[in-house]
Structure 1
Amino acid sequence: MKPSQFAKGFKARPDSTSSEKRTALDRLNAIDGIVDLQHVGQAANGRSSAFVADEPSDIATGVESEEYRTWRRANRYTTGQVIELPLKSIKTSPFNPRHFYLKSSIAELAVNLAKQGQQQAIHVIPDYENPGTFFVSDGGRRVRALKEANKETVKAVVVDLPIGIQSYKLGYDLNVQRDSQTVFDNAVVWRRFLDEEHFQSQRELADHLGLDESTIAVALSIAKLPENVMHEMVARPDRFGSNMAYQIARYHAARGSDSTLRLINKITSDDLSTRQVADIVKGRASAQDTPKTPSRQRYAQRLDIKLDGVSVGDLKSYGEDRLELRLRGLSRERRDELLHQIESMLQAVEKKK
């Protein structure tokens, strides 16, 4: 890999402490707070966002990097200001934690953006070595959807964030908070980090990310799967977590892609458990005649449930009198909000009787 500014983040640098990560996240939150206030002010005054010469608030940025300060002053930019940038000037970061983007999800978002416009600005980092271009820090889905919708510009906030592994780790932390990071993203990206010798070993990678080495090892085993096989599982993160994907990787190593794709279809259609799949991998059962758990009834209908474009579970109907709702990966606030809404709906149904 050709040396660049991005490789600097990998050169024998100690792992960021939790406080450093928190500072970066707080900086983004502070910038978003400024953006919200600016939107209110612009709505009241009828003004649009533009480059301006005002100095930024130290509350939002803390201590600026020299590169960012030079860029900001040269471009007369106020920290936190929402500006319009040409889509062609936006580039994917080589340290983007996401690798897989569902075409159906991008298409759905593109339709929404075409109707309502872009409501939330993306975050970008200037490419200081190539003036006029930017790397996406947060908002990769929106950029893809805007291109799908044939838009030419994107609303963006230019942020002062580190490049390299720190940029990756910040994006990774944000995605984990949103439940949008998958084991398949990790598998592909971590494998590439090692192949390009950004890290010399699994242990070094685990130390930098603050993860257990066994987590890295499982992901690297999954990384051996072809991407077309991974794509069949990416859309169902509730069904294909790291344990299930690991078993499928073992099965693929022995049986190949065609048999593995048939197994994935059977897991989905017959709702096989990880233990049942492990028995198939070990040869204790056949992928063709694996019995279902006796107590498990085949559902009649299944509705995939998405929140913010991400699959979080499903609603299944059984027979004539049973519904089963399964949701995973929700924040406590979102969970409690949904629970309250369900309780209110049931109370309303009860009052109608």
Structure 2
Amino acid sequence: MADDTARPRLGRGLAALIGDFSDGAPEEAARTAGHAQRKVAVEFLRPNPRNPRRRFSEPELDELAASIRQRGVIQPIVVRALSGVPGTFEIVAGERRWRAAQRAGLNEVPVVVVEIDDRTSLEYAILENVQRADLNAIEEASGYERLMGEFKYTQAELADLLGKSRSHLANTLRLLQLPPGIQDRVIASEITAGHARALLSVRDPEAVARRIVAEGLSVREVEALAAAEAPQDDTPRPGRPRRSAEGDAALRSLEDVLGRALGYSVAVKAKASGEGEIRIRYTSAEERDALCRKLGGA
């Protein structure tokens, strides 16, 4: 990828377009960024097919629509021209405001038009939602995975671009390893992202997910269930006592600490004798090389 001077982090350029503005600030921000604000009929805007956000809360849309009826759309919607359809635009950031504006009965909405490619359009859509905490953890992970799959970002590059820690990125992506039914529960807000991360460590995550919903288990209680489950290779043998739940919890804590420090997914295995191994997972040759540089290797 290009260096930072050629490709600045998204936060700086995008903040002027989709940051939180007070009254009158959008116009100034648009002028500062070199983009003129204009009005466009709502029927000439199209949703962004790359938007990782798939679920829009009906009560939240109603609340925003009520605000728009009183004050209008304070913050302009960021759009780009739709190829092959003159006069029509694709929403880059602000689909929620567009939906609420229609509920409020508006015929036109303020927009700023930007010239960007598919990759940057996806970056903007993810960044806006992540910065506003509008994405659930599964949508966030899917957006990251799409950026890495379609546009060949490494985890390290993507974390730097979006202003997230590498450990956050790695832990979020791990949620896509959960069964589809559990992912659906996260999307529906039946269980939290913390629950989902804890479910990665249990033997039967779907059964425990049902208990979370039925019994209201906390994240700590799910972590305790995971800690109580002995690993497959932890059968007691003479001279080798079974590891305690506290020992398993300590290992997971060590994995978290190392993962945050390195920015990679880390697994720690330990034996009663004190021996063990630490595994660091990377997903590409670029990430391997970056890890070697971080560890001081060639």
TM-score by length of 2: 0.57
In structure 1, what is the Cα distance between the partners aligned to 2:148 and 2:95?
Answer: 23
Amino acid at match of 1:192: R
User: Which of these residues, 8, 15, 18, is aligned with residue 17 of structure 1?
Assistant: 8
In structure 1, what is the Cα distance between the partners aligned to 2:108 and 2:182?
Answer: 33
The superposition leaves residues 138-164 of structure 1 with CA deviations (integer Å, 9 ceiling, x where unpaired) of 3222333455x4958441312336444
Alignment-derived partner of residue 282 in structure 2: none
In structure 1, what is the Cα distance between the partners aligned to 2:131 and 2:144?
Answer: 19
In structure 2, what is the Cα distance between the partners aligned to 1:63 and 1:117?
Answer: 25
Q: How far 1:198 moved relative to its partner?
A: 1.5
User: Which of these residues, 134, 138, 147, is aligned with residue 180 of structure 1?
Assistant: 134
Amino acid at match of 2:41: L
- State whether structure 2 residue 192 is matched by structure 1 residue 240: yes
User: Which of these residues, 97, 102, 113, is aligned with residue 159 of structure 1?
Assistant: 113
In structure 1, what is the Cα distance between the partners aligned to 2:70 and 2:22?
Answer: 20
Q: How does 1:182-331 map to 2 (within 5 A)?
A: 182-195=136-149, 197-199=150-152, 201-225=154-178, 229-234=182-187, 240-241=192-193, 243-251=194-202, 254-255=203-204, 257=206, 259-266=207-214, 269-270=216-217, 272=218, 274-284=219-229
Alignment-derived partner of residue 41 in structure 2: 85
In structure 2, what is the Cα distance between the partners aligned to 1:208 and 1:59?
Answer: 22
- Inter-CA distance 103–117: structure 2 relative to 1 (3 Å threshold): same
- Inter-CA distance 191–250: structure 2 relative to 1 (3 Å threshold): farther
User: Which of these residues, 31, 50, 68, is aligned with residue 60 of structure 1?
Assistant: 31
Alignment-derived partner of residue 253 in structure 2: none
**What residue ranges of structure 1 are gaps of 5+ in the alignment?**
1-11, 38-56, 65-78, 286-353
Q: How far 1:119 moved relative to its partner?
A: 3.8
Alignment-derived partner of residue 316 in structure 1: none
Q: How far 1:265 moved relative to its partner?
A: 0.8
Is the 1:102–1:235 Cα contact (8 Å) retained in structure 2? Answer: no
Amino acid at match of 1:136: I
Is the 2:130–2:140 Cα contact (8 Å) retained in structure 1? Answer: no
Amino acid at match of 1:86: V
- State whether structure 2 residue 79 is matched by structure 1 residue 125: yes
- Inter-CA distance 183–160: structure 2 relative to 1 (3 Å threshold): same
In structure 1, what is the Cα distance between the partners aligned to 2:20 and 2:141?
Answer: 32
Amino acid at match of 2:167: S
Q: Secondary structure at the match of 1:223?
A: helix
- Output the aligned Cα RMSD: 4.1
Q: How does 1:107-118 map to 2 (within 5 A)?
A: 109=64, 112=66, 118=72
The superposition leaves residues 50-107 of structure 1 with CA deviations (integer Å, 9 ceiling, x where unpaired) of xxxxxxx99814556xxxxxxxxxxxxxx223x24133x3222244353432344335
In structure 2, what is the Cα distance between the partners aligned to 1:107 and 1:227?
Answer: 29
Q: How far 1:250 moved relative to its partner?
A: 4.0
Q: How far 1:277 moved relative to its partner?
A: 0.9
**What residue ranges of structure 2 are gaps of 5+ in the alignment?**
231-298
Alignment-derived partner of residue 26 in structure 1: 16
- The number of aligned residues is 227
Amino acid at match of 2:8: T
In structure 1, what is the Cα distance between the partners aligned to 2:213 and 2:144?
Answer: 27
- Inter-CA distance 146–36: structure 2 relative to 1 (3 Å threshold): closer
In structure 2, what is the Cα distance between the partners aligned to 1:225 and 1:158?
Answer: 39
Q: Secondary structure at the match of 2:77?
A: strand
Q: How far 1:278 moved relative to its partner?
A: 1.3
In structure 2, what is the Cα distance between the partners aligned to 1:211 and 1:260?
Answer: 30
- Inter-CA distance 105–266: structure 2 relative to 1 (3 Å threshold): same
The superposition leaves residues 114-171 of structure 1 with CA deviations (integer Å, 9 ceiling, x where unpaired) of 9658543541323252322212233222333455x49584413123364444444444
The superposition leaves residues 204-233 of structure 1 with CA deviations (integer Å, 9 ceiling, x where unpaired) of 433443433322221121123356533433
In structure 1, what is the Cα distance between the partners aligned to 2:147 and 2:64?
Answer: 30
In structure 1, what is the Cα distance between the partners aligned to 2:23 and 2:115?
Answer: 17
Q: How does 1:132-171 map to 2 (within 5 A)?
A: 132-146=87-101, 149=103, 153-160=107-114, 162-171=116-125
Amino acid at match of 2:171: V
In structure 2, what is the Cα distance between the partners aligned to 1:36 and 1:24?
Answer: 12
Alignment-derived partner of residue 265 in structure 2: none
